[in-house]
Amino acid sequence: MTVAVGTVLAGRYEILDRIADGGMSTVYRARRQPDGLIVAVKVLRPQYAADREFIERFSREARAAEALRHPNIVQVFESGRDGDVHFIAMEYVEGSDLKGHVRRVGRLDPADAERIAMAVCEALDYAHRQGIIHRDVKPQNILLAPDGTVKVADFGIARAMAAVTITQPGTVLGTVHYLSPEQARGAPVGRASDLYALGVVLYEMLTGRLPFEGDTPVAIALKHLHERPPRPRLVEPSVPLRLEGIVLTALAKRSEDRYRSARDMATDLAGETEFWKDAPDAMEATRQFELPAPPSPRRRRRLGAVHVAGIVVATLAVGIYLGVQALDRYLTVPEVEMPMLVGRPLPEAEQMARDARLVLDVTDRINSATVPANVVISQDQPPGKRLKQGRRVGVVVSLGVETVTVPDLAGRTVQEAQLALDDARLRVGALQDTYDDLARPGTVLRQDPAAGATVPADSPVTLVISRGPALVEMPSLVGRTLEEARRLLDEKGLMVAHLRTVGTVEIPPGVVIDQAPSAGTKLRPAEGTITLTVSARPGEEAAPPRAPVITAEPQPVQSPVATPTAAPPPTPVLQPTLPPRVTPTPARTPAATPAPPATSGQVRRTRIQVVVPEGGQQEVKIVVIDETGVHTVYRARHVPGDRVDQIVQSQGYTIIQVYVDNRLVQEVRP
C-alpha cells in the first residue's frame, strides 16, 4: 500500500500533507474522520515494516507510550496497521521544534531556556515514574506551541528502534551530539541518560552552541566519553552561574554524579534547591567565575582619578608579586615519574600513586569481559611521563564481567525468544529441534542455561525447539480452499511439496479436489511428500493464481555449509508457468519411523517454489533464520505467473520465510 495525500489509513485517518521525513518513518498531517480532529501520523518505512520482530517491539513500545497522559508529552492516540502499512497516530502540535527555533533566533534568553528545560523535566519525571525511559532526548523531539506550551515527543519509541538487530544492520541510535557516555559505550541506559541529553539541550539553548563537535559521529561520541565540555560562561559570559552549575551537573560523565531524578533537576531550575552545588564537578568548575561585585556607579563617581590610578597600580603590583611567587613555587615543585598502573588492583595502584607522591582519581568504572573486577583498565597519563608532585591522575577501573539473568523461554516461538534474549542482553546460541507430543511446533521446549541463571552479558543460550508429535495424521483437505488446506497443514508442521491444477466447471476455482497421501495417513512433520490437486476454470490452468502459490520439499544433503545459501543463484525465472494439468492417483503412505532429532550444525537443503500471483510486477524475497543468523537468500522482481525455484541450504533448526512485496506469505519449518 502506498501512502499519499488523500489516502485513508485504517478507515479513520485521511492524509492531508507530509510534515517531515526521518530515517525510519515519515510523518503526515491527517484528519481523524470520526470527529475531524487534526492529528500527526507517523508511518514506518517499508523496510522496517517487513521485519516482524521489530514490528512486535515497536507496537509494544507504542502501546506503552499510549498510556502516558501529561500536558508536556505529545499524546499517542493509537498504533495500528493497514495492510502492510504500520502507523502511530498522535497529537498534532502547531508551531516548530526547538532545534529549528534555536537555528532561527540563536541562543535563548536564560529565562526562556530555564522554562523550556523545566517543562522537559516535568515530562521526563512523569515518564520515568511510569517506567519509561525516552532514550532520544534532543531538540528535534521538543515541540514549541504558539502559546508557549512545551511538548516532548517519541517517548519509548527509541527502545524499539534500538532493537532492529535481527534483520537490519546495526546502527547507532539517535543524534550523537546528545548521546550520554553510557549510550556511547553501549552500556544499559536509565533515567540519568535522559538527564544528560537534556543537559546538552540546555547548554545549546544558553550558548547557541553544542558542547562537543567533531568531524565524524565516532569522534563526537569519544568526546562524550572522555572530554569535559567547555564551561558555558566561557562560551557566553551572560549565562548565570546557577544555570552553568545545573548544566555541568547534568553533563557529569558518571551517571551517579548527575541528578538523582528529573524532579531534582526541575527544582534546581526553579531555584527551590541547589543540588548543583553538591555535585563533584559543578562547584569546582564554576567557583572560579565568582568575581567581586563591581562598585556601584555612585561609588565610582566619588573615586577621584588619583585614587583610581593608585588602586590600579597597587592591584597590578600585588598581582605581579603573587604571580611571580606562585610561578616560582610551581617551577620548584619536584617532578616524579608516572608509574604503570594498568593491570594493577585498585588498592595496589593507590599505594603506587602515593609512593610516587601523586593523587589517584577513579574517573570511571566500566564493565569488562577481559579485565577482572577492581583492576585498573587505563590511565590518563602514560607510564614514565614526568609529572609534578601532587598532580592528580585519573584511572578507569573494571567492574568485571557484566552479568544478567536468563529469562524463561519455554513455550515461546523462536522469534519471541530472540526478542526476550535481546531485552536481557543475551543472544540465541545453538538451535536444536526434537519431536514432542504436547508442545506446539516451533516453540521452545528447553533452554541452556536454565531460566533464572546468572550469566555474563552477551552469552549464548541454546534452544531446543519442538517439531510437534513424531507422527501426525494427514487431515482431510478435499473440499477446502487452498488457503484453508495450507493453514491446517501448517498447524501440524506439514509442507506441500507439489501443487497441481485441474480445469473443471463443477467446482469453484481454488478448491482442493484431491490429496496424496489420503486423510488419516500417519506422516512425519516436514516430510515434504504431500501433493494437492486444486480446481481451476477450464483453460485457466496455467494462468497466474489469485494468491501466491508456495511449495517446499526437503532435498538430499550434498555437503555441509557455513551459512545459508541459495542454489542456483537468485536469477528471475520468467518463462515457466504452473505445472501441467495432471490428476494424481491417491496413495496411502505407510506409517513412518520417526527420524532422530536434529542437532546443532546439521545441514538442511529445502527446495522452495513460488508462483507469482496476478497483479503487477512484484518482489519475491526468501529469508532464512537458522543458527547462523538471519539471511536474505533471494530477492528479485517478477511478473505474474513467474516461478521462483530455489534450493535453500541452512544449518540446525530453520525457519524459511517467503515475502511477496514485503508481505509475509508463508513460513516453512523444514
3-state SS, one letter per residue, for 486-551:
HHHHHHCCCCEEEEEEEECCCCCCCEEEEEECCCCCEECCCCCCEEEEEEECCCCCCCCCCCCEEE
Q: What 3-state class would DSSP assign to 621? A: strand
Hey, which residues does 152 pair with through a beta bridge? Answer: 73, 142
Q: Which of 523, 468, 527 is CA-nearest to residue 497?
A: 527
Q: What is the DSSP letter of 201?
A: H
Alpha-carbon torsion, ordered 454, 455, 460, 461, to 10 deg:
-20
Chain-centroid distance, C-alpha 171: 8
Active site residue 136: yes
User: Within a 13 Å sphere around the CA of 639, how many CA atoms are in the beta-carbon half?
Assistant: 5
How far apart CA 626 and CA 180 sit, in angstroms, is: 35
Report, in angstroms and rounded to the nearest whole number, the Rg of the chain calculated over CA atoms: 33
Helix axes 191-207, 262-269, angle to 10 degrees: 30
**Beta-strand relationship, 427-434 and 460-466:** parallel
Q: Are 517 and 489 in contact (CB under 8 A)?
A: no
Q: Work out the number of other CB atoms within 10 angstroms of the CB of residue 189.
A: 21
Helix axes 191-207, 110-129, angle to 10 degrees: 170
CB neighbours of 111 closer than 8 A, spacing ≥ 6?
none
Q: Which of 502, 434, 438 is CA-nearest to residue 462?
A: 434
Q: How many residues does the chain have?
A: 670
Determine phi and psi for 6, rounding to 5 degrees: 100, -20
CA angle 55, 56, 59 (to 5 degrees): 80
CA angle 335, 337, 340 (to 5 degrees): 155
How far apart CA 192 and CA 180 sit, in angstroms, is: 9
Q: What 3-state class would DSSP assign to 319? A: helix
Determine if residue 226 is left, alpha or beta; phi over 0 gives left, psi from -120 to 50 gives alpha, anything else beta. alpha
Q: Work out the number of other CB atoms within 10 angstroms of the CB of residue 6.
A: 8
Catalytic residue among 97, 125, 136, 268, which?
Answer: 136
Q: Work out the number of other CB atoms within 10 angstroms of the CB of residue 287.
A: 11
What's the first-to-final CA gap in the chain, in angstroms? 31
Question: Which residues are annotated as catalytic?
Answer: 136
